[in-house]
A and B are shown apart, each in its own frame.
Chain A
Amino acid sequence: MASTEGQQHPLGIYFQIWILLFVLSAASYMVDYLAFQGYLRWFLIIVFMMLKAGLIVSVFMHMLWERQALVYAIIVPPLLLLVFVGIGTLEGDYTFLTRDIFFGGAE
């Protein structure tokens, strides 16, 4: 039945992605182990996180081979979360400043 075709791919790609995920996990652990700080730490954490997430979604969850209509339906809505992250950051900073002014040690 054409409507229930499964996702079938060569085994090799799964092993390659598996190894890559191990390497990326080890790399993100090393960020902490080697105690990188500041913007370098943030940059590396975000890069390794996005790479791992991308590999899992595209290969292990077969998004790479799904029709674009499904891909857009699932991938586009979470992009709105970036707006939410922005609002959260503004709110967090504002609250921090307010607390610092009213409860901080400053006379």
Chain B
Amino acid sequence: MTQSAQATMAETAPLLDGTPGVIADWSSDQRAFKKTPWGKAMMWIFLLSDTFIFSCFLIGYGTVRMSTTIPWPNPSEVFALNVGGVHVPLLLIAIMTFVLITSSGTMALAVNFGYRKDKMTTFWLLLATAVLGATFVGMQAFEWTKLIVDEGVRPWGNPMGAPQFGAIFFMVTGFHGTHVSIGVLFLAIMAVKVIRGKMDREEPGFMTGRKQDYGMVEIMGLYWHFVDLVWVFIFAVFYLW
């Protein structure tokens, strides 16, 4: 009650746009993020911190790769696949990229249909996103197996070149894969919540008295798009370099 009363009071004053709006919003001594549910603001701030974690990995990787005097294994060759006798460079990674982009699209649509209160469509789109995410993790497991078993890549060395390659590869893709796996889990949970009509009836959530609404699907979407975003950077600087 107090929160909504505060919000109403704060929102009666006209809001400014542009740079004066930034200053007014931050100095208003109430809520900095107007018209943003706190859950969404918190998710954004979490994603900001995650940005720094992944950036530390990628910058560390760049520094290590620049500083090694032994040639770095060529990712184009390491991740190539033979399809019907044809040697295609980086094929598996390209397919994984397309799978993740596709899942990002279904997630964006799920958010959209959620706000339309279209329960069934939202459910199926969330499920499709989860399945595509699981497919991605499966392909990553295949890739790891291929590298560990067939090519003898270890965190401390590999037959192809600079020994740091394995350490960086397992660390970066492992951390990203963990993010995808957690995302798949929460997508499944969210899909079940939607199909059970928890959002429509605004029932309190598990372990909280807060009412659930379709804004939760948007917050879930932010996380999922972020995972896709991180892959864009990993794909560019790890696989294409």
Check if A1 sits within 8 Å of B236, measured CB to CB: no
Give A100 Cβ to nearest chain B Cβ, in Å.
6
Contacts of B97 in A (CB 8 A): 25, 29
Which residues of A from 1 to 49 have beta carbons under 8 Å from B? 1-9, 11, 14-15, 17-18, 21-22, 25, 28-29, 31-33, 35, 41, 45-46, 48-49
Report whether over half of chain A's contact residues are helix, strand or loop; otherwise say mixed: helix
Check if B101 sits within 8 Å of A45, measured CB to CB: no
Give B71 Cβ to nearest chain A Cβ, in Å.
12
Check if A57 sits within 8 Å of B215, measured CB to CB: no
Known: A3-B11, A14-B109, A92-B67. A29 touches B90 (CB 8 A): yes
Give B122 Cβ to nearest chain A Cβ, in Å.
12
Contacts of A41 in B (CB 8 A): 240
Interface centre among B64, B214, B240 (most CB of A within 10 A): B240
Check if B21 sits within 8 Å of A67, measured CB to CB: yes
| Cβ 8 A contact of B112, one of A11, A66, A78 | A11
Contacts of A53 in B (CB 8 A): 229, 232-233
Contacts of B41 in A (CB 8 A): 70
Interface residues on B, range: 35 or more
Report whether over half of chain B's contact residues are helix, strand or loop; otherwise say mixed: helix
Residue positions of B touching A, CB distance < 8 A: 4, 7-8, 11, 15, 17-19, 21-22, 25-26, 32-37, 41, 44-45, 47-48, 51-52, 55, 59-60, 62-69, 76, 89-90, 94, 97-98, 101, 104-105, 107-109, 111-112, 114-116, 213-215, 218, 221-222, 225-226, 228-229, 232-233, 235-237, 239-241
Q: Which 7 A-B pairs have the closest CB atoms?
A: A92-B66, A95-B67, A69-B25, A49-B236, A3-B7, A18-B105, A92-B63
Residue positions of A touching B, CB distance < 8 A: 1-9, 11, 14-15, 17-18, 21-22, 25, 28-29, 31-33, 35, 41, 45-46, 48-49, 52-53, 56-57, 59-62, 66-70, 72-74, 77-78, 81, 84-85, 88-89, 91-96, 99-100, 103-104
